[in-house]
Amino acid sequence: MTDAAPLLEVTDLATHFHTRNGVVKAVDGVSFSLKRGEVMGLVGESGSGKSITGFSIIGLIDPPGRVEHGSIKLEGRELVGLPVQDLRAIRGKTISMVFQDPLMTLNPVLTIGAQILLALEAHEKVSAEEGRRRAIAALAQVRIPEPDAKVDFYPHQFSGGMRQRVAIAIALLHRPKLIICDEPTTALDVSIQAEILAEMKELVAELGTALIWISHDLATVASIASKVCVMRYGKIVEAGPVLDVLTKPQHPYTQGLLDSLPSRAEPGQLLARGAGVSDAAPPPRKTAVERHEPKPGVPYFTMELVSKRFQEQPSPLRALLQKLGVAKPPHGVQAVDSVSLTVTRGEALGLVGESGSGKSTLGRMAAGIYAPNAGTVLLDGERVMSAGERPHKTTTRVQTIFQDPFASLNPRMRVSDSIAEGPVTHGIVTKAESAEYVRQWLAAVGLDPAFAERYPHQFSGGQRQRVAIARALAMQPDVVVCDEPVASLDVSIQAQIINLLIRLRSELDLTLIFISHDLSVVRHLCDRVAIMYRGRIVEEGPAGEIYDHPQHDYTKRLLAAVPVLPTA
Amino acid sequence: MDRASPFARFGREFAESRTALVALIVVLLMIGLALAAPLVAPQDPYDLANLPLMDARRPPGYVGSGGYTHWLGTDAQGRDLLSAILYGLRISLQMGLVAGAIALTLGAALGITAAYLGGRWEAFIMRVVDLQLAFPAILLALVISAMLGQGKLQLIAALAAAQYAYFARTAHGAASAERGKDYVEAAFSTPLPASRVVWRHILPNCLPPLIVVATVQVASAIALEATLSFLGVGLPVTEPSLGMLISNGFQYMLSGRYWISIYPGIALIILIVAINLVGDQIRDQVNPRLKR
């Protein structure tokens, strides 16, 4: 076979799911081809069919799903309709797959070495010693330090990035001709993602393996792939070399996706030509504005040397044993360590950090959800939480928007009740006025007021986040703590929610504390940025300054790790 | 997009299981028959003047002096067994439902309180519950009803005391899980008063597992009551439940008059199995891991 012949040729592939509510055309006539050693990105938002395309190629479509028609040819051999045992011989050997969450795909009760041995035995006969030797070599290949010790570790002893490396090592075991990676870095921090991207790129070049990189993130695809297919509603809307597609997009959908990225817009501008912003104004504040006139000499919102340690309370017996020196105190985590922070009125402060940096804990202390072990949180010189044995929140002026709109709304309450509950309890509106008040807020966040009587499960993720925003703002707060409010949303929905936040912030004169792992979103929304690392703030300053002239090593590393889109 | 309320969806899914639907119909039918016993039963088994001794211990199908057929035969006092069963069902169901409801209320209150308070109180309440769960329910019920003496209220107290621990444990587990969820944190950060968070947010989301336990526990309360009545420590003779009917006929089992014990026993089994089948289906539907 010559080099010019494609390794993989997918023609008019259609995979449908026959559900109780009708046929879902997850993949609907997809065609592309892949040469040997070529790296292709498959980009799309959730529900676009990008993952199902990957699963169809490797033959992992389970009922009620079915490959309806079309052909998948690997080196000229048709894979559609191949018997299960033949497919099994190909799977893992010629084509292998890396999934999003390695914690789900690695067996928690087997050592890494045992799992690699199993993967080897699936396709060849190997002795135990030979298997171990090759497992160590495989781990070394994916740059896992001390592979001869790590081979006896269990998955839980690895970090997320290391687990994903193990998954990649297993995928590479049999020198496959094609690897399909389904969102392999989505669950990882940016710095780990950067490492994996770089290593994957090297490995693929070294082994001559073709790669299909499935992702929702245009920037990661741009940094690894040479060509890209953009999918929507089960169809490829645009395909071509990465540089062409990303700098001169032809299809309006691709253009829209690119316009939705905060990294491509001027900070503070509405994204995607102001998509998702309604004209309805939020209802006027009932509480007199004069009441909250700034007090001279008192900083607006401050956190003074706050610390939070998560530690289990020792039982009385254990406490006694601890005193006698027999037992150790329970394991604890110092999430936030003596952090001081001041936010001025009307400012938007971005709190950036990777997972485990303590940014969410700090945000929850600012919002009065967690009581700090030490230090105080003050708004206009008044405590946000009461002191004492059972601290509780004492102000309604700080409200919170959470990350996951699926978890932050009570599933058994109509959204009208969720929104009206707080304002009615605190006398912002009367029970009689509440229905109209809820309708005004739904309109203000761009939802149909007629949706008031629905339950959360009847909304999409983006709509739910709008409800959550309405619920927080209906309390007429002065400070809003946003904990990753756009992290679990698709790019285009993310742009709409960012637009909504920009607009509501200026209309309501809000002070924002915006927590995010996404540096581009923070730059877009925030005036000032604080970088968190291991429970401390390592650097703080005006957004532009930090992004252009980072001082701390960690900030520099973080900024360097962010994948960058090619610009025209 | 699904416009139906969660309850309507639940009902639709429930109806998809043929077995569960039949079981539900059986349960409702038995409740209906028990409620309507004075109207549908051929004879009033409490009216001693109406019990001709010459009709005693007659086999099923016997046409008695009252001029109607005893389809399930008669017992040692000449009672029509079908009527006795219908009235017995009334008492058995009443005991099971009332005791179950009391145990549910008490257990859920304790479990959710423990989960909400945390710390020492949680440890104390849950250790008491654990301690009680270490003993078989029948033993506890026996001891308590022996202490309290015979009577409807005493027996209900004994059943509820033996069963609240199951509810407490379920409620505690569910409430602890719900407490850590974002929507509860959102409620606290509004801030809403603690009582409102517990009543409007935590409690409704703890209900599904509690309902599952409740169905199973009502069935087991009925069985427990039958056992106690069979052993003679349950209800007084003036309140003949299914257990007592079985017990009354037990001495005639070996003399060939099987029907006096067997038919009340069958009624009891059908009732308990049907309630359990309904409970199983609810459990399957509530458990997200079993969702198709």
Residue A437 gets which letter from DSSP?
H
pTM of the model: 0.83
- In 3-state terms, chain A is what percent helix, strand and coil (to 5)? 40, 25, 40
Q: Which pLDDT value is given to residue A281?
A: 78
Q: Which pLDDT value is given to residue B104?
A: 95
Bridge pairing between strands A301-311 and A374-379: antiparallel
Give per-residue pLDDT as tens, A350-409: 999 888 888 999 999 999 998 898 888 999 888 888 887 778 888 889 999 998 888 899
pLDDT band at residue B93, thresholds of 50, 70 and 90? very high
Cα distances from A131 to residues A117, A120, A136, A154, A404, in angstroms, run: 5, 7, 9, 17, 43
**More confident of the two residues A547 and B65:** A547
Sheet architecture: strand order including A235-241:
A95-98, A178-182, A210-215, A39-43, A227-232, A235-241
A400 and B3 within 8 Å at the Cβ level: the answer is no
For the residues A304-327, what does the mean pLDDT come to? 78
Q: Which pLDDT value is given to residue B1?
A: 41
For chain B, what is the radius of gyration of the CA atoms?
22
Nearest residue of A to residue B183, measured between CA atoms = A408
Peptide bond into B191 cis (omega under 30): yes
Q: Are A510 and A517 in contact (CB under 8 A)?
A: no
Comparing CA positions, the residue from A377, A491, A23, A314 lying closest to residue A499 is A491
**More confident of the two residues B116 and A5:** B116
pLDDT band at residue B174, thresholds of 50, 70 and 90? very high
Looking from the CA of B149 toward its CB, the CA atoms found within 13 Å total: 1
Dihedrals φ, ψ of A101, to 5°? -110, 100
Q: Are A474 and A437 in contact (CB under 8 A)?
A: yes
Residues of B in contact with A369 (CB under 8 A): 185, 188-189
User: Would you state the structure tokens that stand for residue A14, as one six-digit string?
Assistant: 């259609």
**More confident of the two residues B232 and A568:** B232
Judged against a pLDDT cut of 80, whether residue B47 lies above it is answered with no
DSSP element (H, E) containing A14: strand A8-19
Domains of chain A with bracketed CATH: 7-94+209-259 (3.40.50.300), 289-561 (3.40.50.300)
If one counts every other C-beta atom within 10 angstroms of the C-beta of residue A319, the result is 13
Q: Which residues, in sequence order, are CB contacts of B153 under 8 Å at separation 6+?
A: none
Comparing CA positions, the residue from B225, B223, B181, B224 lying closest to residue B205 is B181
Residue A347 gets which letter from DSSP?
-
Q: Which amino acid is at A202?
A: E
| CB-count burial class (<10 Å; 0-12, 13-18, 19+) for B87 | buried
Of all residues in chain A, the percent with pLDDT exceeding 90 is 33
Give per-residue pLDDT as tens, A264-290: 788 878 887 777 676 677 888 766 444
Residues of B in contact with A402 (CB under 8 A): 182, 185-186
Give per-residue pLDDT as tens, A200-211: 888 888 888 999
Q: How far is A134 from chain B (nearest CA, A)?
A: 37
Residues of A in contact with B188 (CB under 8 A): 369, 392-393
For the residues A130-147, what does the mean pLDDT come to? 89
A470–chain B Cβ distance below 8 A for any pair = no
Q: Collapsing DSSP states into helix, strand and coil, what is residue A137?
A: helix
Q: Which residues, in sequence order, are CB contacts of A540 under 8 Å at separation 6+?
A: A341, A528, A529, A530, A531, A546
B189 and A458 within 8 Å at the Cβ level: the answer is no
User: Would you state the structure tokens that stand for residue B14, as one six-digit string?
Assistant: 């429930």
Give per-residue pLDDT as tens, A173-192: 888 999 999 988 888 888 88
User: Would you state the structure tokens that stand for residue A394, as one six-digit string?
Assistant: 């004492």
Residues of A in contact with B182 (CB under 8 A): 402-404, 407-408
Cα distances from A45 to residues A217, A218, A232, A493, in angstroms, run: 9, 10, 7, 10
- In 3-state terms, chain B is what percent helix, strand and coil (to 5)? 75, 0, 25
Comparing CA positions, the residue from B150, B37, B149, B34 lying closest to residue B92 is B34
Q: Which amino acid is at B133?
A: L
Residues of B in contact with A311 (CB under 8 A): none
Bridge pairing between strands A382-383 and A235-241: unpaired
Q: Which pLDDT value is given to residue B165?
A: 93
pLDDT band at residue A487, thresholds of 50, 70 and 90? confident
For chain A, what is the radius of gyration of the CA atoms?
26
Lowest mean pLDDT among A318-332, A553-567, B74-88: A318-332
Which residue numbers of B have CB closer than 8 Å to A's CBs? 1-3, 5-6, 119, 123, 181-183, 185-194, 196, 200-201, 204-205
Judged against a pLDDT cut of 90, whether residue B271 lies above it is answered with yes
Measure the CA–CA gap between B191 and B197, rounded to whole angstroms: 9
Lowest mean pLDDT among A202-211, A502-511, B26-35, B246-255: B246-255
Comparing CA positions, the residue from A392, A276, A344, A267 lying closest to residue A512 is A344
Q: Which pLDDT value is given to residue B289?
A: 55
Nearest residue of A to residue B116, measured between CA atoms = A390
Of all residues in chain B, the percent with pLDDT exceeding 70 is 96
Q: Which pLDDT value is given to residue A1?
A: 45
pLDDT band at residue A294, thresholds of 50, 70 and 90? low
CA angle in degrees (0–180, nearest 5) for B254-B255-B257:
100
Measure the CA–CA gap between B66 and B54, rounded to whole angstroms: 11
Judged against a pLDDT cut of 60, whether residue B209 lies above it is answered with yes
Q: Which residues, in sequence order, are CB contacts of B288 under 8 Å at separation 6+?
A: none
Comparing CA positions, the residue from A180, A151, A161 lying closest to residue A92 is A180
Domains of chain B with bracketed CATH: 14-40+80-290 (1.10.3720.10)
Q: Which amino acid is at B207?
A: L
Measure the CA–CA gap between A203 and B245, rounded to whole angstroms: 79
If one counts every other C-beta atom within 10 angstroms of the C-beta of residue A79, the result is 21
**More confident of the two residues A318 and A135:** A135
Q: If you search the block for the tokens 């935590």, which residue do you land on?
A: B202
Q: If you search the block for the tokens 């016993």, which residue do you land on?
A: B37
Give per-residue pLDDT as tens, B139-168: 888 888 888 888 889 999 999 998 999 999
Q: Which pLDDT value is given to residue A229?
A: 94
Across chain A, mean pLDDT equals: 87
Across chain B, mean pLDDT equals: 86
Measure the CA–CA gap between A527 and A267, rounded to whole angstroms: 9
Q: Which pLDDT value is given to residue B25?
A: 94
DSSP per-residue letters across A160-178: HHHHHHHHHHHHHTT--SE
Q: How far is A215 from chain B (nearest CA, A)?
A: 26
For the residues A310-321, what does the mean pLDDT come to? 75
Measure the CA–CA gap between A164 and B127, rounded to whole angstroms: 42
Nearest residue of A to residue B180, measured between CA atoms = A407
Peptide bond into A64 cis (omega under 30): yes
ipTM > 0.85? Answer: no
pLDDT band at residue A568, thresholds of 50, 70 and 90? low
Give per-residue pLDDT as tens, A42-81: 998 888 889 999 999 988 888 888 898 899 998 888 888 8
Judged against a pLDDT cut of 70, whether residue B292 lies above it is answered with no
pLDDT band at residue A5, thresholds of 50, 70 and 90? confident
**E strand map for A233-366:** 235-241, 301-311, 332-343, 348-352
Q: If you search the block for the tokens 């390592």, which residue do you land on?
A: A538
Q: Which residues pair with A528 in a beta bridge?
A: A349, A542
Dihedral angle, C-alpha B106, B107, B108, B109, nearest 10 °: 50
Q: Collapsing DSSP states into helix, strand and coil, what is residue A144?
A: coil
Judged against a pLDDT cut of 90, whether residue B106 lies above it is answered with yes
For the residues A16-38, what does the mean pLDDT come to? 88
A421 and B5 within 8 Å at the Cβ level: the answer is no
